[in-house]
A and B are shown apart, each in its own frame.
Chain A
Amino acid sequence: MQLTDLTMLELAAKLAERAVSSEEATRACLERIRQVDSKVRAFLRVDEEGALAAARASDARRKAGSPASALDGVPLGLKDIFLTEGVETTAGSRILEGFVPPYDATVVRLLKDAGLPLVGKLNMDEFAMGSSNESSAYFPSHNPWDLARTPGGSSGGSAAAVAAREVFGALGTDTGGSIRQPAAFTNTVGLKPTYGRVSRYGVIAYASSLDQPGPMARTVADTAALLQLIARHDPQDSTSAAVETPDYQADLEAGVRGLKLGVPREYFIEGIDPEVEASIRETLREYERLGATLVDVSLPHTKYALATYYLLASSEASSNLARYDGIRYGQRAKDARGLKELYALTRERGFGPEVKRRIMLGTYALSAGYYDAYYLRAQKVRTLIREDFTKAFQQVDAVLSPTSPVPAFKLGEKVDDPLSMYLMDVFTLPCNLAGLPGLAVPCGFTKAGLPVGLQILGRPFDEARLLRIARAFEREHDFFRRPAPL
């Protein structure tokens, strides 16, 4: 077993007993990246110098007997959407090529304060708009389980790096499934916290009422440990919730006996891959064996979630991305004549096709004469989708479903068909619209060896229960021990 095969908590234990140093662990990650990242292409840039300096500082704290946190010294990766002071951050876009942030995102500062060496910035769909990493302006990442396939998106680089054991864990962001879907595609765990649970300060915005950063790791306990470090109120994010952070490890092993788990009939639809459905059904039976009660629930407005999401997210994106104008940072069309042409040429050259498509849709939906018919109406349907969940959670403790209707698809397969690509997110979008926490946990493999992920949705701020439910299944299977065939 290599050092990089350890889980975060296993490494943390070895660091605590000083059987291994953070510098050794960080060098092991850097070596693994050198070995496999030419195939996986998870990293946009590796910060070897910064990571090793942080690792040596961590080792010094250990030696002095004053570690900064339970995960002090555990190397981590960051989706390239998190601002990192002094380290280029592009959000997968050409328009931010060369942008070196003057400050850290709150979550980055929290991780640095907790002593975690940050190994580098991970690939993503441009501005988090995509489900396959193919809209990255730089290159697509590859799924470690089948290099011809996507690791999912938009946090695909994060998922691929964790699955390929290039890092012990990573942070992603989830606007419509961008943590959970790549986790499901790569045999990793991904948690989208309740809206407001984790600060968005310094996280490059896509759709501000939906975006939420969260942890990605190989095990449920690692995910809980990482959430522990980043879940806290931040006065610099006015939508951050002033809610106590519980101890996420406390009830992790409590099991599911006596819990009521909802199975929404609208999530088992035509078009779902038969092997995915079979794997999820088997997982549901397993939960019954473990003592949970399955309850048939209905979320009747599920079929409207996709349309609602694309109108709201695109509208918010068209407004958020107005800041990329070539004036204060990022690329500028230097040959433009006059200010208007400078804006229009800078943006035309700086944005890729998916980003332009969503800016166009959002601008249209917000424009005079269409606002009520599209944007306002979508906000009202969003209320109906939220109410579906409120009603369901009067009956059940959590809702279980597939994370994605299909396993990882081939790179290039859907790139020319935006509507079919959008359909990939049909099970993950409603959670963001309702602001709820959602977790993807590995639950099996297809015959071809592609990972399948179970999705667990919960009440607001009920992350601890989601982790506990996920752990109950993981304890029986240990799929995370299985390495990707690299």
Chain B
Amino acid sequence: MALTLEQVRHVATLARLALTPEEEQRFTTQLSAVLDAVAQLQSLDVEAVEPTSHATLAASLLREDVMKPSLPPEKSLANAPAKSGTSFAVPKIIE
């Protein structure tokens, strides 16, 4: 299936990637080729098949809902590119 340049730009917006024009071109070609290759799945009849969302073979486990210690703010913020007091600093969202 051939992807259009417009579709690639739309997907890049969804993925929050500011692709260069050269990348947009390259991904249009490469992703079209990958989609061609995965199109083979369309030939299988999977109407009656249940999807597998996880490989977990043991029953999923529940745990007690109790509070446990978590990271202190100074550790949580230690890698922040910008911070303000005990908060992460971000650009203004509402102009």
Q: Report Cα–Cα, A419/B38, bound state, in Å.
A: 11
Chain B residue nearest to A332 in the complex (CB): B81
Check A374 against B38 for contact (C-beta < 8 Å): yes
Among B42, B49, B76, B82: residue with most chain A CB under 10 A: B49
Question: How would residues 332 to 367 of chain A score, 1 for a CB under 8 Å from any chain B CB and 0 otherwise?
Answer: 101011111111110110010100110111011001
Interface contacts (Cβ under 8 Å), in number, total: 173
Q: How far apart are B46's CB and chain A's nearest CB, in angstroms? A: 4
Check A241 against B56 for contact (C-beta < 8 Å): yes
B67 is an interface residue with CB less than 8 A from chain A: no
Among B7, B46, B55: residue with most chain A CB under 10 A: B55
B interface, size bucket: 35 or more
**Given contacts A341-B18, A433-B55, are A384 and B49 in contact (CB under 8 A)?**
yes
A393 is an interface residue with CB less than 8 A from chain B: no
The prevalent SS among residues of A at the interface is helix
Check B90 against A327 for contact (C-beta < 8 Å): yes
Question: How would residues 40 to 52 of chain B score, 1 for a CB under 8 Å from any chain A CB and 0 otherwise?
Answer: 1110101001111
Q: Report Cα–Cα, A367/B35, bound state, in Å.
A: 14
Residues of B within 8 A of A434 (CB): 55
Chain A residue nearest to B7 in the complex (CB): A364
Residues of B within 8 A of A327 (CB): 80-81, 88, 90
B30 is an interface residue with CB less than 8 A from chain A: yes
Q: How far apart are B26's CB and chain A's nearest CB, in angstroms? A: 8
A381 is an interface residue with CB less than 8 A from chain B: yes
**Given contacts A357-B30, A381-B46, are A242 and B78 in contact (CB under 8 A)?**
no
Q: Could you pull out 28 A-B pairs where Cβ atoms are within 8 angstroms?
A: A99-B79, A103-B71, A195-B57, A209-B53, A209-B54, A210-B55, A238-B61, A239-B60, A241-B57, A304-B41, A307-B41, A311-B38, A327-B88, A328-B80, A329-B79, A329-B81, A330-B81, A339-B90, A343-B16, A347-B16, A348-B17, A348-B18, A357-B30, A360-B17, A364-B3, A379-B53, A381-B44, A434-B55
A177 is an interface residue with CB less than 8 A from chain B: no
Q: Report Cα–Cα, A383/B55, bound state, in Å.
A: 10
Residues of A within 8 A of B30 (CB): 357, 418
B11 is an interface residue with CB less than 8 A from chain A: yes
The prevalent SS among residues of B at the interface is loop
B2 is an interface residue with CB less than 8 A from chain A: no
Check A356 against B27 for contact (C-beta < 8 Å): yes
Check B34 against A326 for contact (C-beta < 8 Å): no
Q: Report Cα–Cα, A348/B22, bound state, in Å.
A: 13
Check B88 against A328 for contact (C-beta < 8 Å): yes
Check B91 against A359 for contact (C-beta < 8 Å): no
Q: How many residues on A have C-beta within 8 angstroms of the other chain's C-beta atoms?
A: 77
Q: Report Cα–Cα, A382/B61, bound state, in Å.
A: 23
Q: Report Cα–Cα, A235/B55, bound state, in Å.
A: 18
Residues of B within 8 A of A484 (CB): none
Known: A343-B16, A345-B18, A360-B12. 11 other contacts (CB 8 A): A99-B79, A306-B37, A307-B40, A326-B81, A344-B17, A348-B19, A356-B23, A356-B27, A357-B27, A364-B7, A418-B34
Check B38 against A307 for contact (C-beta < 8 Å): yes
Q: How far apart are A207's CB and chain B's nearest CB, in angstroms? A: 11
**Interface residue ranges, A against B (CB under 8 Å):** 98-100, 102-103, 194-196, 209-210, 235, 238-243, 303-304, 306-308, 310-311, 318, 322, 325-332, 334, 336-345, 347-348, 351, 353, 356-357, 359-361, 363-364, 367, 373-374, 376-384, 386, 418-419, 432-435, 460-461
Q: How far apart are A89's CB and chain B's nearest CB, in angstroms? A: 10
Q: Report Cα–Cα, A342/B41, bound state, in Å.
A: 37
Residues of A within 8 A of B19 (CB): 348, 356
Q: Report Cα–Cα, A356/B37, bound state, in Å.
A: 19
Check A100 against B37 for contact (C-beta < 8 Å): no
Q: Report Cα–Cα, A339/B92, bound state, in Å.
A: 7
Residues of A within 8 A of B41 (CB): 304, 307-308, 311, 377-378, 381
Check A364 against B88 for contact (C-beta < 8 Å): no
Interchain CB contact (< 8 A) of B33 among A325, A337, A374, A419: A419
Residues of A within 8 A of B16 (CB): 322, 325, 340, 343-344, 347
Interchain CB contact (< 8 A) of B58 among A241, A326, A379: A241
Among B33, B38, B40, B60: residue with most chain A CB under 10 A: B38
Interchain CB contact (< 8 A) of A432 among B37, B55, B75: B55
Among A99, A102, A336, A384: residue with most chain B CB under 10 A: A102
Q: How far apart are A337's CB and chain B's nearest CB, in angstroms? A: 8
**Given contacts A343-B16, A356-B19, A361-B31, are A195 and B42 in contact (CB under 8 A)?**
no
Check A331 against B54 for contact (C-beta < 8 Å): no
